[in-house]
Amino acid sequence: MLRIVLTVLFILVCIALSVIVLAQEGKSAGLGAISGAAETYWGKNKGRSMEGKLVKFTRILAIVFMVLAVILNLKRL
């Protein structure tokens, strides 16, 4: 029973992680830093913006993904 619950949770985390990664801007969108655009308000406060929140949420989901993958690969579960 526990294995089924963890597998369903793992699938949900996989889907959420895929959606969050696809929702993020590409690294090429940050080329404005060459012309000095990084000194704007959004460049300084990127951690508080929506993009910063997506990056933090991606890290959290990636950690949960790895932990669930290890747990599901244990033989005695």
| Span 41-63, average pLDDT | 78
Q: What is the pLDDT of residue 64?
A: 96
Domain count, the chain: 1
Residue 24 in any domain: the answer is yes
Model confidence pLDDT, tens digit, residues 24-49: 877 665 555 555 555 555 555 555 67
Residue numbers of the domain that contains 61: 2-72
Residue 77 in any domain: the answer is no
Residue 59 in any domain: the answer is yes
Query: What is the three-state SS of 4-67?
Result: HHHHHHHHHHHHHHHHHHHHCCCHHHHHHHHHCHHHCHHHHCHHHCHHHHHHHHHHHHHHHHHH
pTM as predicted: 0.68
Residue 46 in any domain: the answer is yes
Residue 31 in any domain: the answer is yes
Nearest to 14 by CA among 66, 70, 71, 51: 66
